[in-house]
A and B are shown apart, each in its own frame.
Chain A
Amino acid sequence: MALRTILHYPDPRLRRTAQPVAAVTDAIRALIADMAETMYGAPGIGLAAVQVDEPYRVVVIDISESRDQLQVFVNPEITSREGEQQMEEGCLSVPGIYEPVTRAARIKMRALDREGKPFELETAGLLATCIQHEVDHLDGKVFVDHLSRLKQSRIRKKLEKQSRLAM
């Protein structure tokens, strides 16, 4: 297991569309383990493979307080969305920025687990928001894309300045 480097917005590599995983191999399981470690270390409640520069449709999530309820989603697909809810979101690729985003309140989805076995899930609340946020990443989208142009450009400038200072 290893900690991976998280790409930071507006890195163009966050804009790539991830490809489906053909088979859940040991290599994918190793990626999942790295992603979990990286997410817990950050600390975050969800991480998509795209954020660690791996263009595969793999997501890890743990929204528990105790940080011991890891959920793995390979090739996740949202099959239905209902209602609306607004939550304040942040992103490991957009450090220090928190903004309210409106998304579906309830979703149905299917995916493969870490053994490659298909499962279905119907959920709401924070988990629903988090899944939508991570699936966006797999399609090259970041949560700031849901904000106004003005907010987007402010955030971009702030983060560009931060990364210059860090270098």
Chain B
Amino acid sequence: MALINWLGDLAPRLHRAFIEGDRWKLYLQGLGTTLEMTVIALILGVILGLVVAVVRTAHDQQRLGHRNPLLSFFNALCNLYTTVIRGTPMMVQLLIWSFVIFKTSRNKVLVGIIGLGINSGAYVAEIIRGGLMSVDAGQSEAGRSLGLNYFDTMRFIVIPQAFKNILPSLGNEFITLFKDTSLVQAIGAAELTYYAFTIGGRTFDYMPPLIGIALMYLAVVIVFTWLQGKLERRLRESDRR
């Protein structure tokens, strides 16, 4: 009996949460912002991560007795960056970006992107570093023995081969980042979770919007995982040749 009552109630609740006042547009808008933040933050993270990974790998591969002090300095900087970012909670970092560093900024989406991107960079750096190290040392030895310089060897020989090994982890990082955007709600950036929370507050009913966005996040992740699997299979096919 209670179940039937609950189900009978559900239709108006869903109506209030999604249809009334064209609220579904807000969800779509929020999902758009969320995806936009994810993509830009990931690009930022990959650029940062690539720089950090190359600096750290270059530092570790220096010939004995030929240590470059500038490189050592940047290496120390990169180490500090990854240690701090990986050693503190994402949420705390976002709060610091928003309420300490950019406390006058009103563009909270941008602040969120910066916070997410810089966070992601530290993890991507480790992913890329692992990928670079997975390429057989003989490859860069062959490049260098031909007289190619370090950067050409990385660019044409090591990085293209590392890319294939990096791709699965990078896909996971995208998924993590996509879900982590929901934290940005706490600094007031208008993304998907923010809208669901606002609508829940306005209708005094949190269940439909929150379950609703959970399903949306899930749907995006499932679609993305499927695309990722397809891409990986294609890359593997070119291996068999």
- A and B interact: no
Q: Which residues of A contact B (CB under 8 A)?
A: none
